[in-house]
């Protein structure tokens, strides 16, 4: 199988593709990962992943933006080092000593996730290009495994296109870019004898979430007793607490098969309205939920698209927190000074 590499950057062709063969697609077994690099370590899930890795004995390099407040959020630890850079700098990092001798790189950095930049094709194309640059840097440094944060919304986007139900451009552009990056990484990693593990991340919630995503927004409204309008909530959803999510991702890095996309979520899905009613009943039973006040124009996944049991059956992962437990912990954080700000 021959792959022409000139589509990304001709400087890589002779170095990586002259005699490479597809190598690690079927390799399985525990890998002793002791030193990790995490891009996007200043983000919601990335910061939780850094804490999970530190708590389980890793040395961690947290890659953050230059203006990041991550140093104030992440606890000081002698095994934690910070490295400041933009995604544009990924292709020029092979000479940075701090990046050497890592066993695994977790790529969680992505611009334009929950703001208007998500619909800007220039921003999203830059994400794809910089992500591919990072893969080649990983190969140059001799890092053997890369874990990529994929998203369940990629499959929602695909289903919408299959049914010709085109979602708003904001969401489409981001999801197309994510899918493109995942497929390119899979292709090039296989030809560079590099382990590649995409993780399909479901709907994560928990402490530190500040975006306008569903659980965070609904929780704050319910705690404040404010009215919020929803669709009828019949569409299936799956939520996973942040600490469970990052533990699952770590287990994939340690034990997962290369070129296998692992679903990070729970094995049981429910209609959205059941989650919303459970949140309301737990935190503020008198709060009115405006179920059915909004039309539903999207698509509903039936989760047959994923092997939702692979984490449990293959890697032995089981969530440690129920939805109610995760919601209570998140609500307590929201009510703190840190959560309010």
Per-residue pLDDT tens, the chain, 341 aa: give them. 333 333 344 444 444 333 333 222 334 445 555 899 999 999 999 999 999 999 999 999 999 998 887 777 788 899 999 999 999 999 999 888 899 899 999 999 999 887 778 788 899 999 999 999 999 999 999 999 999 999 888 887 777 777 766 655 556 788 889 999 999 999 999 999 999 999 999 999 999 998 888 999 999 999 999 999 999 999 999 999 999 999 999 999 999 999 999 999 987 899 999 999 999 999 999 999 999 999 988 778 888 888 888 999 999 999 999 999 999 999 999 998 777 77
Cβ count near 204 (within 10 Å): 23
Give the domain ranges of the chain.
Answer: 33-201
Furthest CA-CA distance within the chain: 67
Q: What is the pLDDT of residue 173?
A: 85
Could you tell me the pTM of the whole model?
Answer: 0.88
Cβ count near 340 (within 10 Å): 9
Q: What is the pLDDT of residue 2?
A: 31
Instruction: Round to whole Å and give the CA distance between 124 and 118.
Output: 7
Contact 196, 134 (CB under 8 A): no
Checking 78-87 for CB contacts under 8 A at 24+ apart, the result is 79/54, 80/50, 80/54, 82/41, 87/39, 87/111, 87/126, 87/127, 87/130, 87/131, 87/134
Instruction: Round to whole Å and give the CA distance between 280 and 263.
Output: 28
Q: Quote the Cα angle for 93-96-99, to 5°.
A: 85
33-201 has CATH 3.30.300.30 classification: no
Q: What is the pLDDT of residue 155?
A: 82
Instruction: Round to whole Å and give the CA distance between 237 and 229.
Output: 17
Q: What is the pLDDT of residue 32?
A: 59
Q: What is the pLDDT of residue 313?
A: 93
- What's 2-37 look like in SS3? CCCCCCCCHHHHHHHHCCCCCCCCCCCCCCCCCEEE
């Amino acid at each position: 199988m021959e792959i022409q590499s000139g589509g990304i950057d001709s400087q890589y062709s002779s170095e990586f593709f002259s005699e490479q063969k597809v190598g690690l697609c079927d390799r399985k077994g525990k890998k002793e990962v002791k030193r990790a690099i995490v891009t996007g370590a200043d983000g919601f899930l990335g910061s939780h992943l850094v804490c999970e890795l530190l708590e389980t004995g890793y040395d961690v390099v947290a890659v953050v933006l230059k203006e990041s407040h991550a140093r104030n959020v992440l606890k000081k630890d002698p095994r934690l080092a910070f490295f400041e850079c933009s995604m544009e700098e990924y292709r020029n990092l092979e000479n940075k000593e701090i990046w050497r001798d890592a066993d695994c790189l977790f790529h969680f950095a992505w611009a334009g996730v929950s703001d208007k930049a998500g619909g800007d094709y220039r921003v999203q194309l830059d994400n794809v290009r910089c992500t591919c640059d990072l893969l080649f840097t990983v190969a140059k440094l001799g890092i053997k495994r890369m874990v990529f944060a994929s998203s369940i919304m990629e499959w929602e986007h695909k289903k919408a296109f299959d049914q010709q139900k085109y979602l708003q451009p904001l969401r489409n552009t981001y999801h197309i870019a994510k899918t493109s990056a995942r497929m390119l990484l899979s292709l090039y990693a296989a030809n560079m004898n590099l382990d590649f593990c995409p993780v399909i991340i479901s709907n994560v919630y928990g402490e530190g979430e500040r975006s306008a995503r569903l659980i965070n927004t609904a929780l704050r409204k319910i705690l404040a007793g404010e009215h919020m309008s929803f669709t009828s909530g019949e569409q299936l959803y799956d939520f996973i607490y942040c600490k469970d999510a990052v533990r699952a991702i770590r287990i994939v890095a340690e034990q997962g098969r290369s070129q296998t996309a692992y679903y990070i979520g729970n094995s049981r899905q429910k209609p959205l309205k059941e989650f919303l009613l459970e949140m309301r009943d737990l935190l503020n039973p008198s709060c009115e939920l405006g179920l059915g006040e909004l039309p539903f124009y999207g698509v509903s996944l039936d989760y047959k698209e994923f092997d939702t049991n692979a984490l449990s059956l293959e890697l032995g992962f089981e969530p440690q927190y129920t939805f109610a437990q995760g919601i209570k912990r998140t609500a307590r954080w929201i009510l703190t000074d840190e959560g309010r700000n």
